[in-house]
A = this chain, B = another copy of it.
């Protein structure tokens, strides 16, 4: 082995493909004969514009994005998107949110600053351990959109079926499942995802927005960075973007295409998740917390019978070289995030470790 690489189960930032990191390393001192590292390039230079255009083209191919959608790269992460979505899309000042956990709640809090939020469905009654029924929600005629967090990183749930929006625009936070499986972009008005989970380095969100939702008649007193039209009109270069993230993500887009695209990723991800869930379902010590039909393929939440034992698992896992198995502080327990770049060996090794731990702590 050339270098030690750990199995990192962090909820994000998270593992990146080894091959991509090696390419980045090899291009560090002189990118393709430019005499520069990508970090040093003017964002207006031809060499960088080529990197940007290739990244957009590859993402469009990977997700099969229709021509009437724009791809934007915006800083500020999910937190800024919570605000931008509401500030840009609330024309009538009213939107329906599905409350599925920590990240939906944060989106709701920011949207409430902008207009009226109607909770279309919630799974609050059982600690967000399931996806509520969204087949027949009360949606006011004049609601501007329906918002979901399609995969709740902290709670470990996923929408395996999209809500019935009754003809309204669907907005989805896909951060912790972005590029993990195919999706039909035309079903959405806007998809956004922080890239630091399934794709690349933190510091950028990808926004995929239907062009007619980029409002030209937006309140001119809104901060200029918060307007989607600012970023759309300048191809994400109104100001200097996170060029490094565009470069790294572009490499991952290409890597995923080479690997067989999102159908292949979905197959691999489901296979990995099955290995872990099958073990957890058969274990007497570990139990999952999410309703089986709503389980996330990316973030596997589980726990033992006590907080003390959970802590012992985390401690032993660290000693065994596994990183970040602790559940989010807001919910406790254990969590293994197994994003695109987590190899199957990592999941198998984790199951072996958990089996051994269970045997030793009967």
Contact = CB atoms under 8 A, between A and B. Distances in A.
B21 A8 contact: no
A83 B225 CA distance: 8
A29 B25 contact: yes
B241 A203 contact: yes
Nearest to A226: B223
Contacts of A43: 13, 202
A284 interface: no
A45 to B, nearest CB: 7
B13 A110 contact: no
Interface stretch (A31-39, A57-65, A296-304): A31-39
B12 A35 contact: no
Interface in A15-61: 15-16, 18, 21-22, 24-25, 28-30, 33-37, 39-43, 45
A352 to B, nearest CB: 18
A201 interface: yes
B25 A40 contact: no
A225 B76 CA distance: 8
Nearest to A18: B29
B6 A240 contact: no
A79 B10 contact: no
A2 interface: yes
Contacts of A68: none
A80 B203 contact: no
Contacts of A87: 223
Contacts of A160: none
A78 interface: yes
Contact of A243 (B29, B37, B113, B201): B201
A266 to B, nearest CB: 22
Contacts of A324: 42, 45
Interface string A71-86: 0000111111011000
Contact of A76 (B18, B42, B75): B75
Contact of A223 (B39, B83, B204, B221): B83
B77 A240 contact: yes
A221 B114 CA distance: 8
B29 A2 contact: yes
A193 interface: no
What are the nearest 10 A-B pairs in CB distance? A6-B35, A203-B242, A83-B223, A75-B75, A25-B28, A10-B42, A39-B201, A79-B239, A202-B240, A113-B221
23 contacts: A6-B34, A6-B35, A8-B35, A8-B36, A8-B42, A11-B42, A13-B40, A13-B43, A16-B40, A18-B29, A25-B29, A43-B202, A75-B77, A75-B203, A82-B223, A201-B244, A202-B241, A202-B242, A202-B243, A203-B204, A203-B240, A203-B244, A244-B245
Interface of A: 2-6, 8, 10-16, 18, 21-22, 24-25, 28-30, 33-37, 39-43, 45, 75-80, 82-83, 87, 109-110, 113, 194, 196, 200-204, 220-226, 238-245, 248, 321, 323-324
Given A13-B240, A14-B42, A79-B238, 16 more contacts: A3-B29, A8-B36, A10-B40, A11-B42, A21-B28, A21-B29, A22-B29, A35-B321, A45-B324, A76-B80, A82-B224, A109-B224, A113-B220, A113-B221, A201-B242, A203-B204
